Amino acid sequence: MALNLSLRLSLAHLAYALLIFLYCSSSSSSAVDLLQGSTNRRRPMILPLYLSSSKTTSSSSSDRIVADHNRRQLRNSPPPPNARMRLYDDLLSNGYYTTRLWIGTPPQEFALIVDTGSTVTYVPCSDCGHCGKHQDPRFQPELSSTYQPMKCSVTCNCDSNNAQCTYERRETGDLYTQRADGIMGLGRGRLSVMDQLVDKGVISDSFSLCYGGMDVGGGAMILGGISSPPDMVFTHSDPYRSPYYNIDLKAILVAGKQLKLKPSVFDGRHGTVLDSGTTYAYLPREAFLAFKSAVMKEIRSLKQIHGPDPNFNDICFSGAGREVSKLLEVFPQVDMVFNNGKKLSLSPENYLFRHTKVSGAYCLGIFQGDDATTLLGGIVVRNTLVTYDRENDKIGFWKTNCSELWKSLHYIDPSTPSPLPPKSQSTNVSIPPTVASGGLPHAPAPAPDGLLHTVFPGEFQIGLITFDMSLSINNSYMKPNITELTEFIAQELDVKASQVHLLSFNYKSNVSLFKWAIFPDESADYISNTTAMSIIQRLKEHRMQLPKKFGSYQLVELNVKPPVKPTWWKQNYWAVAVGALVTLVLGLSIFGALLIWRSRHTESSSYEPVNATVSDQELQPLQTSTGL
């Protein structure tokens, strides 16, 4: 089948003829042709990557290479126009990064996993019988004026009627269970988005990915070449070695000590492969055992504990504290040494993930693989700009703060609003009265000036997001179920139900006015910038899709406030409480000891002998009395 795909850019809307795939039945589908367009300027495109949850497992590392979504200051001269978008959330909390693509005319929006280990780009379409439930409605061919089936030819497999092309795709089951709509394949191959854009002269043969750090998220995907930072570390990538992006890894150092391994251990099967669709890293058995042993020798002060999931044999340690910036004081630095002698230094966040049930505990994010391939997933390159220079057969690594990458880009987008105000202020954004019908797909509302594309400064922390929402219910006798509505809002905003609080509620006739608040997770003091950006964008674009029974909703006002600085009393509550308790116990102890001492002293006094010596004057009255 044929349809169009448009890549939204900040300065211009450009579209190119590309080939992607649609799942339109449970067994087969057809290739699709994308919106025609051309340009003679090869400009880099910077796209957004979002995140959706996936918690499945694949049967082998070869499967993971294809699709493993289980646990998942830049310079350019001259600066060309470009699309400046960003990544959202944290890789390990959801499993993989996604980008937003608009397909069809008018465009239909989809979230696609960015996967360097896959070569095809695909989404499910409306008549697929076994494609699972995802975060966006399926592609509806009948709603696209540029859609047309790809007719049968000698270049493809044909259906039984020899009318149109068909194809088959085997996966591990992730396509059915994942929250994301599909996959954007950036691998090597003629069907890859990269290969098609390069063949059409749209971009140069290079792209870059930058994943944000632990608990922060964010980042960017750049399609096209960039001027490499002077201290970027490059290694050779042989396109003939395997169909995947491989690197020449020759040694690993833990705390400056090289593991006693032959270089050939990292060259088995597909070699050492970088795969953005894989969350963790997987080493051959010999390398994994050596790595685990070396790390454990360096952290003997920590206590080894069970992992958060009993279904996995995770290696975890407690007692390291919650501050990511201080992990290097407890865990060792790890270096990957390439064939040219250059090194890529990994901080603890590049090989650890947080224990979800024990505060201050971490688990190894590097596991033993199922075969001889060394597979490096997204965890290894967090806070690292990775440039896939396919034109020169090399891959570069540059340590940076990927969440703040935008501040270092030399691509300035004049349409991007100013950053948020200082901490002392709250941000109030009025929403235009655009109405979205519950349960039905709808076009995003035009974003008002304010937060939609705002880059939060690193020092700004968000403690509370509030928004006013009105619901129009057709049945005037039906009042919305608050608990159920809260759960749906939490699901649509991708937060926990416990974070969504109803502040006020007014009901009149068939219109309900709600004031909602989104609080930080129980384990956090503030909402991460990337999570807040995702929430705000979904609200402002009216992308919440509520069940039809809630009727249509209208967003009225949106507010963002910094965390309330705790008072001295709150900051020292436990110290004061412990001090008061100690004082009380000590006072009671002293008081008790005093009572015991006085009791014993009284008893001792009552048993003293009476003085038998009586003076004559004292006896005189007694004798007189007796005589009477």
Three-state SS sequence of 475-537 = CCCCCCCHHHHHHHHHHHHCCCHHHEEEEEEEEECCEEEEEEEECCCCCCCCECHHHHHHHHH
Token pair for 538? 């979904």
pLDDT band at 332 (very low <50, low <70, confident <90, very high): very high
Q: What is the model's pLDDT at position 188? A: 92
Backbone angles phi, psi at 249, to 5 degrees: -85, 130
Structure tokens at 248: 């020449």
Of 3 and 527, more confident: 527
Q: Give pLDDT tens digits for 476-506.
A: 555 567 888 888 898 888 888 889 999 888 8
Which residues contact residue 488 at a Cβ distance below 8 angstroms, ignoring those fewer than 6 apart?
546, 547, 550
- The pLDDT of residue 452: 32
Q: What is the pLDDT of residue 139?
A: 92
Q: How far apart are CA 354 and CA 327, in angstroms?
A: 11
Spatial separation of the C-alpha atoms in residues 25 and 345, rounded to whole Å? 46
* Structure confidence by residue, pLDDT tens digits, 89-119: 456 556 777 778 888 889 898 888 889 999 8
Confidence of residue 226 (pLDDT cuts 50, 70, 90): confident
200 pLDDT higher than 70: yes
pLDDT band for 429, please (50, 70, 90 cuts). Answer: very low
More confident residue, 170 or 449: 170
Q: What is the pLDDT of residue 539?
A: 85
Query: From CA 147, how far away is CA 103, in angstroms rounded?
Result: 10
Eight-state DSSP code of residue 107: T
Residue linked to tokens 């169009």: 4
Mean local confidence (pLDDT), 69-91: 40
Note whether 225 and 394 are within 8 A (CB).
no
Give me the mean pLDDT over the 354-370 stretch.
94
Q: What pLDDT is attached to residue 66? A: 33
Residue 325 pLDDT: 86
Q: What is the DSSP string of 209-240?
A: EEE--TTT--EEEEES--BPPTT-EEEE--TT
Which residues, including other chains, have CB under 8 Å from residue 145's CB and lie 6 or more apart? Answer: 105
421 or 325, higher pLDDT: 325
The CB density around residue 375, as the number of other CB atoms within 10 Å, is: 27
Ranges 281-290, 330-339, 577-586, 602-611: which has the least confidence: 602-611
Contacting residues for 263 by C-beta, under 8 A, at least 6 apart: 250, 251, 339
Average pLDDT, the chain: 74
- Residue 519: C-alpha distances to residues 154, 363, 497 (Å): 58, 27, 10
Q: What is the average pLDDT across 231-236?
A: 96
pTM comes to 0.61
Residue 157 dihedral angles phi and psi, to the nearest 5°: -80, 140
> In which order are the strands placed within the sheet that holds 316-318?
303-305, 316-318, 362-364, 352-354
Res. 45: pLDDT tops 50:
yes
Least confident of 260-264, 357-361, 407-411, 503-507: 407-411
Q: With 70 as the cut, is the pLDDT of residue 2 above it? A: no
Residue 10 — pLDDT band, cuts 50, 70, 90? very low
pLDDT(86) > 70: no
Active-site annotation, residues: 115, 275
Of residues 130 and 26, which shows the higher confidence score? 130
Q: What is the pLDDT of residue 548?
A: 74
Is residue 129 over pLDDT 70? yes
Across 217-227, average pLDDT:
82
**Who contacts 563 (Cβ-Cβ below 8 Å, separation ≥6)?**
461, 462, 463, 464, 520, 525, 526
For the chain, what percent of residues have pLDDT higher than 90? Answer: 29
pLDDT of 444 over the 60 cut: no
Q: Are 266 and 336 in contact (CB under 8 A)?
A: no
Which pLDDT belongs to residue 47? 55
Q: Which of 72, 100, 96 is nearest to 86 (CA)?
A: 100
* Helix H or strand E segment including 354: strand 352-354
Q: Name residues whose C-beta falls within 8 Å of residue 61's C-beta, 6 or more positions apart in sequence.
A: 282, 369, 370, 371, 373, 375
What residues contact 286, with CB distance under 8 A and at least 6 apart? 261, 265
| pLDDT recorded at residue 94 | 64
Percent of the chain whose predicted confidence (pLDDT) is above 70: 69
d(CA 251, CA 229): 24
The residue count for the chain: 628
Q: Residue 369: pLDDT band by 50, 70, 90 thresholds?
A: very high
Predicted local confidence at residue 564, as pLDDT: 72
Which residues pair with residue 501 across a beta bridge?
A: 517
DSSP 70: S
Lowest mean per-residue pLDDT among 328-342, 454-468, 526-540, 600-614: 600-614
Note whether 496 and 486 are within 8 A (CB): no
Q: Does pLDDT of 23 surpass 90?
A: no
Mean pLDDT of 133-144: 90
- pLDDT at residue 17, rounded to an integer: 57
pLDDT of 418 higher than 50: no
Residue 417: the pLDDT is 34
CA atoms of 437 and 471, how far apart (whole Å): 10
Query: Is 447's pLDDT higher than 50?
Result: no
